[in-house]
Amino acid sequence: MSNLQISLIMIGALFVVGIVLFNGWQQRNHRRKTESLFESRPDDVLLDDFKPVQLREERVEHQFVDLDPEPDESDQIVAEEEPVLTEVIEEEAPIKPSSSHFVDAETDYIAEIEVKDPVGAEELAELFRRKFDFGKPIGVYGLNIDSGCWEEPHARPKYRNFKVGLQLADRSGVVNLAKLSEFRDLVVETASRLQASSLCPDISEAHSRAIQLDKFCAEVDMLIGINVMSRGEETFAGTKIRGLAEAAGFKLESDGTFKYFDEHGNHLFSLCNHEPAVFLPDGIRHLSTHGITFLLDVPRVAQGKQAFDQMIMIAKSFAATLGGVIVDDKRLMLNDAGFDKIRKLLQEIRAKMEARQIPPGSERASRLFS
């Protein structure tokens, strides 16, 4: 290789290195200028100084039955006359809903949309998209122009009228007034977009009804629990509890409790661990506990007295097999007199709920006590 070739190669290499260094210097200079423009971070309106807002009053989920003190007259549950809730919408066609969750004037705020020309369910897309934004269950039903029946809107049929209901209360409490107003505005906007008329009852009156309804529900929301406890320091083996439960007809559910159903698939009562650990399929073989608890959710069971009697019979069988004793939440022994007191309470609650047209175990009760 001649000296000329070597010189040319060296000149070419130096040229390439110079270009690389120059590009690197430009990039660093540009980055410094860019970073200097953003030395102060802009405020994040979603994260900075966030203060949670209390949107609703929460209702205690259950009252537990206290069997120890003798109830005085002020504690007796009697069937009092409750104010009658005004029907908001008059029916113009047979109500034959395809789903059991039809809007209910006793438990829902019901708004109505009346269109000039029949439309499909897709015209209510925005309403369906926001149906989980209001903190309570929403029901949407349309009047099918072909069948003349109210049903949950679906793809092909056309509908003349729509009824949209927002549930007023459940176990988490009363519907928030601001959410109720927002729901009303959404219905009005939907009707306006369809060039339809809307009928929206007064939200203040609806909120007052919600408060009354929630107060009533709190009065009858009872959870009856009886415990089978071990004697002394002895414990019950999880495998033995599971064997007894499955033999009695219980099914272990994903929430870690055993549930007992009647022949129609209705949940009657549950069996859970008296201690914090739950019954899980993978862990129950290693679990031991000092007690188990049978629970009856009174408003959600149609035949509460019969379910309670069956629960007592199974609890006594468990106690005999496990060598335990039946006690209340204060570890006081439960006897036939205590059981009779519970039966009387169940009858009183049933009478009060039926007087309010919310029979225990009914679809209406299941919605309110969920």
| Mean pLDDT within 151-163 | 91
* Cross-strand pairs, 159: 119, 144
Long-range contacts made by residues 5-8, C-beta under 8 angstroms, separation at least 24? none
For residue 355, name the pLDDT band (cuts at 50, 70, 90). very high
Asked if 106 and 210 count as a contact pair (C-beta separation under 8 A), the reply is no
DSSP 79-140: -PPPPPPPP-S---S----SSS----TTTEEEEEEEEEEEE-GGGGHHHHHTTTSSSS-EEE
Q: In the chain, where does the domain assigned CATH 3.30.1400.10 lie?
A: 221-368
> CATH number of the domain at 221-368, please?
3.30.1400.10
Strands of the chain, DSSP E:
63-64, 108-119, 138-144, 150-151, 159-167, 169-170, 173-174, 197-199, 222-229, 236-237, 251-252, 258-261, 267-273, 288-289, 291-297, 325-327
Chain segment 74-127, per-residue pLDDT in tens: 333 333 333 333 333 344 444 444 444 578 999 999 999 999 999 999 999 999
Give the SS3 label for residue 198: strand
Quickly count helices (H) and strands (E) in the chain.
8, 16
Answer whether residue 144 shows pLDDT above 90.
Answer: yes
Asked if 225 and 312 count as a contact pair (C-beta separation under 8 A), the reply is no
**How far, in Å, CA of 274 to CA of 290, rounded?**
7
Q: Note the pTM of the prediction, 2 decimals.
A: 0.71
**60 is written with which tokens?**
């205690």
* Residue-level pLDDT at 102: 72
Buried b (16+ CB within 10 A) or exposed e, 227-252: bbbbeeeeebebeebbebbeebebeb
Distances (CA, A) of 218 to 62, 194, 255, 348: 8, 40, 25, 15
Average pLDDT, the chain: 82
Backbone angles phi, psi at 336, to 5 degrees: -60, -35
* Residue-level pLDDT at 59: 58
**8 is written with which tokens?**
């040319």
Backbone angles phi, psi at 271, to 5 degrees: -130, 125
In the chain, pLDDT over 90 holds for what percent of residues?
69
| Mean pLDDT within 291-295 | 98
* Residue-level pLDDT at 48: 35
Please choose, from the candidates 101, 82, 99, the residue with its C-alpha nearest in 3D space to the C-alpha of residue 166. Answer: 101
* Cross-strand pairs, 258: 252, 271
- Choices 3.40.390, 3.30.1400, 3.10.450, 3.30.70: CATH for 90-219: 3.30.1400
| Mean pLDDT within 150-166 | 92
Answer whether residue 12 shows pLDDT above 80.
Answer: no
**How far, in Å, CA of 140 to CA of 131, rounded?**
9
* Residue-level pLDDT at 13: 67
Least confident of 27-36, 158-167, 181-190, 359-368: 27-36
Please give the distance of CA 192 from its chain centroid, rounded to a whole number.
31
Q: Is 184 exposed, middle or buried (0-12, 13-18, 19+ CB in 10 A)?
A: buried
Chain segment 225-280, per-residue pLDDT in tens: 999 999 989 999 999 999 999 999 999 999 999 999 999 999 999 999 999 999 99
**How far, in Å, CA of 101 to CA of 229, rounded?**
40
Answer whether residue 71 shows pLDDT above 80.
Answer: no
* Residue-level pLDDT at 89: 36
Which amino acid appears at position 48 of this protein?
Answer: D
Contacts of 171 by beta carbon, 8 Å cutoff, 6+ apart: 59, 61, 217, 221, 368, 369, 370
Backbone angles phi, psi at 369, to 5 degrees: -105, 50
